[in-house]
Amino acid sequence: MDRVVKTINPKAQQRDVEVLSNKKVGAYHHIVLAVGDLAIATRPGNFVAISVGDAMSNTILRRAFAIYRASDRGQYGGTIELVVAPHGLGSRWLCARQIHDRVNIVAPLGTSFGIPTEPVNALLVGGGYGAAPLFGLAEVLKSQGSRVDMILGASVAGKIYAPLEGKRSVNTTTLTTEDGSTGIKGRVTDVMPALIEKHKSEIIYSC
């Protein structure tokens, strides 16, 4: 197993980790895992592969979940946060975990977002809970002096994740919904051209 993991990502490790928190936030679950020093190697854009189901489960393959935020500080030595929509069998199993339950993970995986070496005007575009990794990215970009504008979209208002956090994390936040229940009626791509021109966006991240 170690040989396989190293082929995927030299910093990734397989571990049993503890569930510290599992809170329902709107249509999604916000889950915090105690991962120790794995948090140090985690960057915005990485994901975690989780073994779902018990020993008798026929769910063989791990499920991949984007990492919302990672922190290498605090009493647990390091945490990663996930935003999960309970749609399929694997995600419903994960959302049913309780505090102090343990799950088996491989992390961090994937290619992280590229970070400019100098301040830029960045536009972050995300849909539904898929936008979650962009919040950690926004924090990194802002800490480097970049201007950060964000577009959050979904089919309905209840599926936009953490719109208030988006407003705190960036310079401007634009919300879109396909049914017009909040923000601008339409898709995120409908408002992109005008915002790119208005804010002189130099780099676009999407998730």
Residue 26: the pLDDT is 84
Residue 76: the pLDDT is 75
Angstrom distance (rounded) from CA 81 to CA 84: 10
Average pLDDT over residues 150-167: 85
pLDDT band of 4, cuts 50, 70, 90: very low
pTM, two decimals, is: 0.86
Average pLDDT over residues 186-205: 98
Angstrom distance (rounded) from CA 123 to CA 195: 8
Q: Is 35 helix (H, G, I), strand (E, B) or coil?
A: coil
Residue 7 has pLDDT above 60, yes or no: no
Residue 55: the pLDDT is 62
From residue 26, give the alpha-carbon distance in Å to each of 23, 30, 70, 156, 200: 10, 10, 21, 12, 33
Average pLDDT over residues 109-116: 93
Within 10 Å of residue 200's Cβ, how many Cβ atoms? 10
Residue 50: the pLDDT is 97
Q: Give me the domains of the chain, ranges plus CATH numbers.
A: 2-109 (2.40.30.10), 121-206 (3.40.50.80)
Mean pLDDT of the residues in the chain: 90
Angstrom distance (rounded) from CA 71 to CA 89: 28
Higher local confidence (pLDDT), 167 or 109: 109
Residue 19 has pLDDT above 80, yes or no: yes
Q: Which two tokens stand for residue 179?
A: 């049914």
Give the tens place of pLDDT for each residue, 25-78: 888 999 999 999 999 999 999 999 999 987 656 677 899 999 999 998 877 789
User: Are 50 and 94 spatial neighbours (Cβ–Cβ below 8 Å)?
Assistant: yes
Residue 198: the pLDDT is 98
pLDDT band of 86, cuts 50, 70, 90: very high
pLDDT band of 5, cuts 50, 70, 90: very low
Residue 56: the pLDDT is 56
Q: Which amino acid, one-letter code, is at 7?
A: T
Share of the chain above pLDDT 70, in %: 93
